[in-house]
Amino acid sequence: MKDKLLSLKEIRKNWWWNRAEIRRDGVRGVDWPLGEESARNYELMRRTKNGKQFIQTYLELCREEKTIVSRLWLNWGQAIRREAIRREQYNEKGWTPFYETEHRQWNLRMADNLLIKEFISEIRLLRKIQKVRRKHPLTGKKHRGVSWKLVEILDRKQNGIGKFNASQRHTLSEAQRRAEIYFVEYNCALTKWLKGSQNPDCDCEDDLEESPNFYGTIPC
């Protein structure tokens, strides 16, 4: 039985990422906009033939399911901070070291400018020790945020809405290619999680093509 075709007006009601409160405040409980690309990839995955079994939108996922999505696709290199939950992260280059015996405290009564000055001084020292250069303020910055065109054009195609020009057909082809890759990645990670694995890293290389948006396993 074929799915009922929706009108463009009906489809747009399902595009939660365009809601004013989401564009303004992001998704509650998620590091936004850092997690936006992960959310986009999940929604793209749901548009595949096999992905339609996942009827919940990203907003409707439980905390554990959002964690799986983040571990797969969140670009942790763009994050300002993270929780070090694995021992190999404790002394990873490019991040401040983790000390299990750290007893230092910050005086919350001090003026902001003094705290900032001391903190930045320590950061600069660690950069010098690790020989890490700070990024230019604009490096990797997405001025217009994550593009949802891939998801939206798939919705239009699957509901027979409009005709596509050459550029749009190229975008559609890219959307379909990525969606299939994301389905394999997510399905593999979800299967491991359901089996009780504490590390939903996917070992399905034979089933995957190289994904331009795969960042490996990261802490939630």
Query: Residue 141 CB: number of other CB atoms within 10 A?
Result: 9
Tell me which residue has tokens 């850092």: 34
Task: In whole angstroms, give the CA distance from residue 168 to residue 136.
Answer: 33
6 domain-assigned: no
Which DSSP category does 198 fall into? S
Mean pLDDT, range 80-91, rounded to an integer: 72
Residue range 33-58: mean pLDDT, rounded: 94
Please check whether residue 111 lies inside any domain of the structure.
no
pLDDT over 90 (residue 174): yes
The predicted pLDDT at position 13 comes to 94
φ, ψ for residue 153 (rounded to 5)? -75, -30
d(CA 81, CA 95): 9
Say if 151 falls within a structural domain.
Answer: yes
Kindly tell me if the per-residue pLDDT of 165 is higher than 90.
yes
How many domains does the chain divide into? 1
Mean residue pLDDT of the chain comes to: 81
Residue 9 falls inside a structural domain: no
| Rounded (10°) angle between helices 166-194 and 149-158 | 100
Backbone phi and psi for residue 184, each to the nearest 5 degrees, phi listed first? -60, -45
Residue 30 lies in a domain: yes
Rounded to an integer, what is the distance from CA 122 to the centroid of its chain? 29
The pLDDT-based confidence of 159 (bands split at 50, 70, 90) is very high
Is 201 contained in some domain?
yes
What pLDDT, on the 0 to 100 scale, is given for residue 83?
67
The pLDDT value given to residue 97: 79
Q: How far is CA 131 from CA 38, 90, 93, 126, 144, in A?
A: 30, 17, 9, 8, 32
Comparing 82 with 214, which gets the higher pLDDT? 82
Domain range enclosing 193: 19-80+144-207
Residue 58 lies in a domain: yes
Residue 89 pLDDT > 80, yes or no?
A: no
If one compares 213 and 37, the residue with the highest pLDDT of the two is 37
